[in-house]
A and B are shown apart, each in its own frame.
Chain A
Amino acid sequence: MFGAGGGTSSFEEIEHANVILLWGSNARAAHPIFFHHLLKGVHNGARLYCIDPRRSESARWADVWLGIDVGSDIALANAMAKVIIERDLHNREFIDRATTGFEAYAATVNEYSLDRAAEITGIPGDVIEEMAIAYATADMAQICWTLGITEHHNATDNVLALISLALLTGHVGRYGSGLAPLRGQNNVQGGGDMGAIPNKLPGFQDVENDAIRSRIEGIWGRSIPPKRGWHLTQMFEAMEAGMLRGLYVIGENPADSEADVNHARKLLAGLDFLVVQDIFLTRTAAMADVVFSSAADWCESEGTVTNSERRVQRVRKALEPPGEARTDLSIINHLAGAFGGGWGYPSPQEAWNELRKVSPMHAGMSYPRLEAMGGIQWPCWDESHPGEKFIHHRLWEDPVVGDPAPFIPTEWVAPVDRLTHDYPYRLTTGRYLDDFNTGVQSGGFDSPTRIGGMLDLSPEDAKRLAVGNGDLLQVSSRRGSIQVPVRIDESLRGGLVFMSVHYAESADVNQLTIEAWDPKSGTAEFKATAVRLERVEPGTAAEDMIGEKVGV
């Protein structure tokens, strides 16, 4: 945000916040380490508002749970902003000095009355008002979010709506106040930081900026393509258009994780050449022409990872990789060698030191410093710089250093997959505590509390459909249809159903999800699918079939 792709605050800061908005996140199950920090904040007295369609495990810790309708977040955020402005609780001085575009933003949010927001979100206006006032008047306040905000066709707008709330109240760029997008793995942040984004070079440097490109070309002694590449969703569109014929997949399992996955599998199968590099033989790897078996990064190789608070930490090798597996670095270097690249075979530390030359925000992070300081939070400009606990404090300097932060007004748009008479239920997806994403890394381990692939259903809908725990339902969307056993879950209200993303083998939820995606981030709308539910009568052929499938 405002040019830096990371959360603004440290984990430590949420422990001292007065108000926490946990928005579109079941962190207790999906980000349990972060949730410990959040709970420390709660135990220190922070009021927790949890905005989630489901009354999730996280919401059970909340002072107030707001059971929002899936995909109505912008309406909620804009209505909060209108309350804050009308009650004169916005930080005028901060807005004047450090932001641009307030007038246009105020005009946009003015259209979101509490009544209108209540109608769109399903949350009573007085509760929206209460949360707005609590957020605006808090000394220190944090907004934390995850995929409930970003797995939508308008993901970027959702994020902008939250950022605008922080700008409006000055809850950014100072200790204790900030914006915290939670990363789902130990190194999602690091992947982006290193430039594994189609439009960025390492350190979030714009690939289409000539000056930046030429500086890095100088370091690398090679020319860099001047135009941005494709992101994942665009790649699949290019496959469909026949423009993309070969694919090199590293540590990703799109054959299970893509929305509208039947379609994605067809496209992957139609490629001329598919290379997969992974530590497991995933469904995608099983389709590949060549598989590079790689070492597990967290225990079989040296290097660094970067967490959600921008902290770069050393990873140390504890085990030799099994069999012929090699580290990702080794595989890529050998591949480059075979292509005639002549990169040589740098050690992880040498590769890191090269990055420190390329990415100014990592320049001060030598291995000895990372080790001595227990990790360093970027930016870290030189070897005397301690790193930054929180970023964007420049917005509070007088005068403001750098560009002011722009308000970007956003309008609420309903999810693409509309609820109709034929598809009347809203299916949303998420994670359970025991499992991780497509289950590749977690499915091989037993867990005493694993639920398995189920469709979670509210007690009232279970009654209406006359199904009990374990009964089979035929779940159909406009794209696919699967059979799944039911689990009655009182955290859901009528009309809302939930499936986890972990069990492609038994409950292949992405056959149902929609590929509609956000043009700015490339994320698909996993969180909002319209489905129809039908009871599967016991003893039918269909049930026998699914029985076998579940038993796999």
Chain B
Amino acid sequence: MAAEATTAERAVVERAVAAGETVEVPGRVVRGGHEARSLRHLLLPALAALQSEIGWVTPGGLNEVCRRLVVPPAEAFGVASFYALISTEERPPIVVHVCDDVACRQSGGSDLLSDLWDRGDVVTTPCLGLCDRRPAAFVQRAGRPDLTIAPATVDNLISALDGAEVRDHVTFVHSMNLLARIGAIDPGSLNDYRSAGGYLALSRAFDLGAAVVVDEIKKSGLKGRGGAAFPTGIKWEAVAREPAPRIVVCNADESEPGTFKDRVVMEGDPFALVEAMTIAAFAVGASRGYLYVRGEYPGATSRMIAAVESARAAGLLGESILGSDLSFDIEIRRGQGAYICGEETALFNSIEGFRGEPRQKPPYPVQSGLFNRPTVINNVETLINVNRIVLEGGEAFAAIGTVESSGTRLFCLSGDVVRPGVYEVEFGATLGDLIDLAGGPESDLASVLLGGAAGTFVGAEHLDLPLTFEAARAAGISLGSGVVMVFNSTRDMHDVVRRVARFFRDESCGQCVPCRVGTVRVEEAVARANGGVDVALIDDLDRAMKDASICGLGHTAASVVRSAISRGLI
């Protein structure tokens, strides 16, 4: 007989899935079917609730979720086992995830791990988005909220494992405009936000009307900051033309190694994101919004939950916002540890309760996105620009930066620089300007990783490179998600590249064979490469993954390795 849920597990599942299959009359009438199956999108939240409350997804708990949602247990197990933060095997109640990714492994991450290695409750994790305060750790605690620790030490990790609350530090921020409120106002106070100019943009948007807002965004030349640099106005216009109901999704699954700007925005200025999503909803005529936050960001998540609740209580979300015709609300979903879910269609599948595997495109999200509805999906940084554009006008925004790269850009400086943090600069600033702004290299500058694990290495000869979309494109590099990670000449670059290769092997969802097999082969080739890498093999694998993978993960999986080879780093 199938494993039964305990009373505690049943209570957890009941809180996560209030409806679902119901026994109307015991032994006589059960209602389920379409109605219960339509709640499939609650699968991941329900599994996450078990993980968070019970400490792991027990067979009994899984069966209870499946019974309520009418999902075959094998399928639900496939979903549970897809995510790194969900365990389908019994684990200690407190587990520490120590980051051993490229930034953290340089400065203590690896040492921490070797000191704590024999403990069953310490595991490694890819980048936690806390690179400015390396080394970083993330703690899962059964029955209590998750937390992050940065910088982590053996002492504070052991006290966290003993159940103590450990204080986290804050990220250094350099603002020109977008980050002005961060550190200046109480991020938990809607009043503070409003007295610092918050919600003026939404009022102005209502005054302008939806079509004009879309037009202003188009005029601004705003391009997506998530990495693909797609013009935001065009996307919104396309969605507005599709039939209702339409959906707005904010992609806050910031998982590119070396990236932490979206976390800083959500932690420090959460209402700005709520306001921007509301404007997006007004502009395209959407009634539902989803904010998908990376699971390793417990601080940002609780800030956003609080902000959404305050906004709802103040009538800034819900029915007839500010007395207008707009009815819109935001649901927050937590990722559960999967880099691939930052890919927009994988993110949709994740919200819908399926494995976070990217979808074949077309159809594009603007026609058929979340729940197969026309969907605007934008990154956090992209969205907060919207508030400014609505207030100042598209033309004023377009005048900032360069013709092709308008506005300002958030860069995440980490590695061997004096003052790591998030730096907002006008498009056109050079790589050298940026590093100078961060106090210069900590010792010397041997190479810089731009764009994260999916990016490229550059060197001192690129310090004059303007960090614009067009200049980067001409130089054959990508700004990606704004990662600028500096390495000095003492760093073991072979070790760094090998970690990146392992990252892709771990994070490939496995759906496309070239990527599933290719990422393993790349890692093997890098591992063998001490003193001479098989360039032809890497090129071959890269071509196969570019040609025959359906998403960007496979397309970029060998990019760092190839640039390291061409720069002679490995």
**Residue from B28, B29, B33 in contact with A47 in the complex, judged by beta carbons closer than 8 Å:** B33
**Residue from B29, B34, B35 in contact with A124 in the complex, judged by beta carbons closer than 8 Å:** B29
Question: Which residues of chain A from 75 to 128 have a CB within 8 Å of any chain B CB?
Answer: 122-124, 127
A493-B31 in contact (CB<8A): no
From B19-27, B306-314, B401-409, the one touching the partner chain is B19-27
Instruction: List B contacts of A55 (CB < 8 A).
Output: 30
Instruction: List B contacts of A127 (CB < 8 A).
Output: 24-25, 29
Given contacts A469-B1, A488-B1, contact A62 B33 (CB under 8 A): yes
Instruction: List B contacts of A64 (CB < 8 A).
Output: 29-31, 33
* A45–B35 CA distance with the chains assembled, in angstroms: 11
- Taking each of A66, A469, A492, which has the highest tally of chain B beta carbons within 10 Å of its own beta carbon? A66
Given contacts A127-B24, A469-B1, A488-B1, contact A66 B29 (CB under 8 A): yes
Interface of B is mostly: mixed
A67-B27 in contact (CB<8A): yes
* A493–B26 CA distance with the chains assembled, in angstroms: 8
Q: Say yes or no for A494: interface residue by CB 8 A criterion.
A: yes
Q: Mark A483-498, 1 if CB is under 8 A from B, else 0.
A: 0000010001110000
A493-B28 in contact (CB<8A): yes
Q: Say yes or no for B32: interface residue by CB 8 A criterion.
A: yes
B28-A124 in contact (CB<8A): yes
B30-A65 in contact (CB<8A): yes
Question: Which residues of chain B from 30 to 47 have a CB within 8 Å of any chain A CB?
Answer: 30-35
| A339 → B minimal CB distance (Å) | 56
User: When A and B form their complex, what is the total count of cross-chain residue pairs whose Cβ atoms lie within 8 Å?
Assistant: 53
| B279 → A minimal CB distance (Å) | 35
| B353 → A minimal CB distance (Å) | 16
| A308 → B minimal CB distance (Å) | 24
Q: For residue B21, which residue of chain A has the nearest CB?
A: A60
Q: For residue B25, which residue of chain A has the nearest CB?
A: A124
Given contacts A469-B1, A488-B1, A493-B27, contact A47 B34 (CB under 8 A): yes
Instruction: List A contacts of B28 (CB < 8 A).
Output: 66-67, 122-124, 493
Q: Say yes or no for B70: interface residue by CB 8 A criterion.
A: yes
Question: Which residues of chain A from 22 to 79 have a CB within 8 Å of any chain B CB?
Answer: 42, 45, 47-48, 55, 59-67
Instruction: List A contacts of B33 (CB < 8 A).
Output: 42, 47-48, 61-64
* A65–B33 CA distance with the chains assembled, in angstroms: 9
Instruction: List A contacts of B26 (CB < 8 A).
Output: 493
B29-A63 in contact (CB<8A): no
Instruction: List A contacts of B25 (CB < 8 A).
Output: 67, 124, 127
Q: For residue B72, which residue of chain A has the nearest CB?
A: A60
B1-A60 in contact (CB<8A): no
* A123–B31 CA distance with the chains assembled, in angstroms: 13
B1-A63 in contact (CB<8A): no
Instruction: List B contacts of A59 (CB < 8 A).
Output: 30
A63-B34 in contact (CB<8A): yes
Instruction: List A contacts of B31 (CB < 8 A).
Output: 63-65
Q: For residue A121, which residue of chain B has the nearest CB?
A: B28
Instruction: List A contacts of B34 (CB < 8 A).
Output: 42, 45, 47, 63
Q: For residue A59, which residue of chain B has the nearest CB?
A: B30
B27-A63 in contact (CB<8A): no
A62-B32 in contact (CB<8A): yes
| A15 → B minimal CB distance (Å) | 16
**Residue from B24, B29, B32 in contact with A60 in the complex, judged by beta carbons closer than 8 Å:** B32
* A458–B1 CA distance with the chains assembled, in angstroms: 12
| B410 → A minimal CB distance (Å) | 44
Instruction: List B contacts of A494 (CB < 8 A).
Output: 27
* A66–B24 CA distance with the chains assembled, in angstroms: 10
Q: For residue A458, which residue of chain B has the nearest CB?
A: B27
Instruction: List A contacts of B29 (CB < 8 A).
Output: 64-67, 123-124, 127
- Taking each of A59, A61, A65, A494, which has the highest tally of chain B beta carbons within 10 Å of its own beta carbon? A65
B24-A63 in contact (CB<8A): no
| A58 → B minimal CB distance (Å) | 12
| B25 → A minimal CB distance (Å) | 6
* A458–B27 CA distance with the chains assembled, in angstroms: 10
| A417 → B minimal CB distance (Å) | 21
* A55–B22 CA distance with the chains assembled, in angstroms: 13
| B59 → A minimal CB distance (Å) | 16
Q: Mark A348-377, 1 if CB is under 8 A from B, else 0.
A: 000000000000000000000000000000
Instruction: List A contacts of B27 (CB < 8 A).
Output: 67, 458, 492-494
Q: For residue B2, which residue of chain A has the nearest CB?
A: A490
Instruction: List A contacts of B30 (CB < 8 A).
Output: 55, 59, 62, 64-65, 67
- Taking each of B25, B28, B31, B70, which has the highest tally of chain A beta carbons within 10 Å of its own beta carbon? B28
Instruction: List B contacts of A123 (CB < 8 A).
Output: 28-29
Q: For residue A63, which residue of chain B has the nearest CB?
A: B33
* A449–B160 CA distance with the chains assembled, in angstroms: 46
* A63–B32 CA distance with the chains assembled, in angstroms: 5
* A63–B25 CA distance with the chains assembled, in angstroms: 14
* A60–B30 CA distance with the chains assembled, in angstroms: 9
Q: For residue A494, which residue of chain B has the nearest CB?
A: B27
Q: Mark A508-551, 1 if CB is under 8 A from B, else 0.
A: 00000000000000000000000000000000000000000000
Instruction: List A contacts of B32 (CB < 8 A).
Output: 60, 62-63, 65
B70-A60 in contact (CB<8A): yes
Instruction: List B contacts of A60 (CB < 8 A).
Output: 32, 70
* A493–B31 CA distance with the chains assembled, in angstroms: 16
* A492–B1 CA distance with the chains assembled, in angstroms: 14
* A458–B24 CA distance with the chains assembled, in angstroms: 18
* A494–B27 CA distance with the chains assembled, in angstroms: 8
Question: Which residues of chain A from 117 to 162 have a CB within 8 Å of any chain B CB?
Answer: 122-124, 127
Instruction: List A contacts of B24 (CB < 8 A).
Output: 124, 127
Q: For residue B70, which residue of chain A has the nearest CB?
A: A60
* A64–B28 CA distance with the chains assembled, in angstroms: 10
Q: For residue B30, which residue of chain A has the nearest CB?
A: A65
Instruction: List B contacts of A48 (CB < 8 A).
Output: 33
Q: Mark B1-16, 1 if CB is under 8 A from A, else 0.
A: 1000000000000000
Q: Mark B62-88, 1 if CB is under 8 A from A, else 0.
A: 000000001000000000000000000
* A124–B26 CA distance with the chains assembled, in angstroms: 11
Q: For residue A46, which residue of chain B has the nearest CB?
A: B34
| A184 → B minimal CB distance (Å) | 25
* A55–B32 CA distance with the chains assembled, in angstroms: 12
| A419 → B minimal CB distance (Å) | 16
* A62–B34 CA distance with the chains assembled, in angstroms: 8
| A529 → B minimal CB distance (Å) | 19
Q: For residue B27, which residue of chain A has the nearest CB?
A: A493
Q: For residue B29, which residue of chain A has the nearest CB?
A: A127
* A42–B34 CA distance with the chains assembled, in angstroms: 8
| B426 → A minimal CB distance (Å) | 52
Q: Mark A436-447, 1 if CB is under 8 A from B, else 0.
A: 000000000000
Q: For residue B31, which residue of chain A has the nearest CB?
A: A64
| A125 → B minimal CB distance (Å) | 11
| B65 → A minimal CB distance (Å) | 15
| B35 → A minimal CB distance (Å) | 7
* A61–B71 CA distance with the chains assembled, in angstroms: 10
* A47–B30 CA distance with the chains assembled, in angstroms: 14
* A69–B35 CA distance with the chains assembled, in angstroms: 26
Question: Which residues of chain A from 451 to 478 have a CB within 8 Å of any chain B CB?
Answer: 458, 469
| A214 → B minimal CB distance (Å) | 54
* A64–B24 CA distance with the chains assembled, in angstroms: 10
Instruction: List B contacts of A469 (CB < 8 A).
Output: 1
* A388–B54 CA distance with the chains assembled, in angstroms: 58
Instruction: List B contacts of A66 (CB < 8 A).
Output: 28-29
| B454 → A minimal CB distance (Å) | 37
| A487 → B minimal CB distance (Å) | 8
* A64–B25 CA distance with the chains assembled, in angstroms: 11
* A488–B1 CA distance with the chains assembled, in angstroms: 8
- Beyond the given A42-B33, A61-B70, please list 5 additional residue pairs across the A-B interface where CB-CB is below 8 A: A62-B33, A63-B31, A64-B30, A127-B24, A488-B1
Q: List 13 A-B contacts (CB under 8 A).
A: A55-B30, A62-B30, A63-B34, A63-B35, A64-B31, A65-B29, A67-B25, A67-B28, A67-B30, A122-B28, A124-B25, A469-B1, A493-B27
Instruction: Give 3 closest A-B pairs by Cβ, nearest first.
Output: A493-B27, A63-B33, A67-B28
